[in-house]
Every structure is written in structure tokens, then in C-alpha cells.
């Protein structure tokens, strides 16, 4: 599914750039917690044993004239432009990436704004093509990524929305697919597996079980539709009778019909 909007903070160009690896800006933030000067909160947090509260920043230092002044977009001394984009709430300075401040998220997002909507239940900005087409989970973005256990809501890494509604960092999602296909939280299929299930149908049909197992049945629970059914046991997989998914788990012991005992 399409990704959510991400917080502004992507890696910039390696050469010909002001600021740091996170932002292009013409000023340093004066951290209200320790009075030290850093290009951004991410640089601060990676070097200190505490976090910088972006909302409490009051002063910045111009990188050209070095004048410390109230946080604003243009230097009051030498007219240096601190950032093409400036948010007076987040104190975010950066080049123009069509950012916008989302009042409901409480932070700035990479836009353009018209390409996203804020889902009040999920409490997250999502791509417009997901409006009315995603499964809502209350405050889902306030949970950490189940793969890396790092924050999702304020991360500069794009979040990927799974069909079940759970979120992963896009990079974590891509790594997960190298090892498996299921959501690590609910075990629902993390992508459309229909084509693979039909291939598995053919493999099952071409792989008959030994005679002593041909009338063996087993109770299963489907991780995709949450339905329960009784199906014929097969070593390659047991298909849900309800949604035809092979993303199932055995929910009881195997049984053999009386006429085969």
C-alpha cells in the first residue's frame, strides 16, 4: 500500500550544501536544554545524552555573521536566509520540499499538502489514494516500528502502511520481505499473495500425500480472514476454506476418518 507522509528530515546532497546531513539551513539552533549550538535536533540527540525539544527553541545563530537572535527565517543582521521553508512552531529550517505543518500530527510533513489527508483515528497523514481504503487502527503512528523498535511518528524514514493497518518503516518493510511475508504484529499477509497461493494450489495438486495421510484432516485458523475451518492435511500447506489463503496455522490435532482406521 502507499506510504504515509514522513516528517521532514531527509538526507540532503553530500556536496554544496549548507547545514548538516539532515537539513539545508543557514543557522544553528541554540538548544534550550544545554545552551549548546547544533545544526539540528538530530545532530544534537546523536551527540548528547538527552533530547532537544524542538518546540522550546527560542534562539538561533547565523552561520555567516554568527549573531545569536530570536528564531526567524531571515538573519536580522546580515539578511542570510536561514531556510527556504521555516515553521515557527517546529522551528524547522530547510530547503523547499513543499513541507507543511500538520496541526493534528503536531509536526511538519513532506508534502505537497494536497497529496495527503490526516486520518483522525490513525492520527497520521496518509496519501490521498488511501482515503477510505485503509484499515484504521487508533493512534497507530504512536507505536514504535515492530521491526527496529524505533519511533515511527517523528521518524524521517517513510512509513509503510500494511493491509492490516499496522505501520513499519519502509526500510524495515523491505528487509522483512527478504525473510517472510507476514505482519510481525498480527501475522496477516503484508502484501497481496493471491498469485503465490494459486501457484501453491498447483504444487499441492501435483504432490499427492502418501495413502495413510490422504484422508487426514486438521483444524486450521487463517491469519488473513481469522476464520476457522477443517481441511485436508498437506505438508505443503493448508488452504483456508473461506478466503483461500495458505497463511494458516494448525488449531487442533490431525484426525483420520473412521473408515480409514
- For the stretch 4-39, pLDDT in tens is 554 554 433 333 458 898 999 999 999 999 999 999
Report, as ranges of residue numbers, the positions in the chain whose pLDDT lies below 50: 1-2, 6, 9-16, 258, 260-261
List of residues 6+ apart from 96 with CB closer than 8 A: 84, 85
Cis peptide before 19 (omega within 30 of 0): no
Q: Which class in CATH covers the domain with range 99-179? A: alpha beta
User: How many helices (H) and strands (E) in the chain?
Assistant: 3, 15
Report the C-alpha gap between 131 and 155 in whole angstroms: 22
Dihedral, 86, 89, 92, 98 alpha carbons, nearest 10: -60
Kindly report the pTM of this predicted structure.
0.72
Q: Do domains 99-179 and 193-256 have the same CATH topology?
A: no
| CA–CA dist 69, 77 (Å, integer) | 9
Please report, for residues 162, 163, 200, the alpha-carbon distance to residue 220 in angstroms, rounded to integers and kept in the order given.
24, 22, 17
Q: What is the CATH number of domain 193-256?
A: 2.20.28.10
pLDDT for res 17: 55
Domain chopping of the chain, boundaries? 27-94, 99-179, 193-256
pLDDT given at position 12: 36
Distance CA 141, CA 207 (A): 44
Amino acid at each position: 500500500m502507499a506510504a504515509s507522509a514522513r516528517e521532514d528530515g531527509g538526507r540532503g546532497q553530500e556536496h554544496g550544501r549548507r547545514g548538516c546531513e539532515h537539513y539545508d539551513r543557514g543557522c544553528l539552533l541554540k538548544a534550550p536544554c544545554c545552551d549548546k549550538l547544533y545544526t539540528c535536533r538530530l545532530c544534537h540527540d546523536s551527540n548528547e545524552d538527552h533530547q532537544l525539544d524542538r518546540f522550546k527553541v527560542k534562539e538561533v545563530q547565523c552561520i555567516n555573521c554568527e549573531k545569536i537572535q530570536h528564531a526567524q527565517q531571515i538573519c536580522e543582521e546580515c539578511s542570510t536566509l536561514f531556510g527556504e521553508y521555516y515553521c515557527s512552531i517546529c522551528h524547522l529550517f530547510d530547503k523547499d520540499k513543499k513541507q507543511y505543518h500538520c496541526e493534528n500530527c503536531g509536526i511538519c510533513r513532506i508534502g505537497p499538502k494536497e497529496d495527503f489527508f490526516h486520518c483522525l483515528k490513525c492520527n497520521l497523514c496518509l496519501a490521498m489514494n488511501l482515503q477510505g481504503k485503509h484499515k484504521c487502527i487508533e493512534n497507530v503512528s504512536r507505536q514504535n516500528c515492530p521491526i527496529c523498535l524505533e519511533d515511527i511518528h517523528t521518524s524521517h524514514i517513510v512509513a509503510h502502511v500494511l493491509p492490516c493497518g499496522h505501520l513499519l518503516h519502509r526500510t524495515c518493510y523491505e528487509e522483512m520481505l527478504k525473510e517472510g511475508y507476514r505482519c510481525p504484529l498480527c501475522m496477516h499477509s503484508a502484501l497481496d499473495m493471491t498469485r503465490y497461493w494459486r501457484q501453491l494450489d498447483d504444487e499441492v495438486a501435483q504432490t499427492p500425500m502418501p495413502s495413510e495421510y490422504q484422508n487426514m484432516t486438521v483444524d486450521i485458523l487463517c491469519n488473513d480472514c481469522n476464520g476457522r475451518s477443517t481441511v485436508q492435511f498437506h505438508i505443503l500447506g493448508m488452504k483456508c476454506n473461506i478466503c483461500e489463503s495458505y497463511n494458516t496455522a494448525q488449531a487442533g490435532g490431525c484426525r483420520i476418518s473412521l473408515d480409514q482406521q
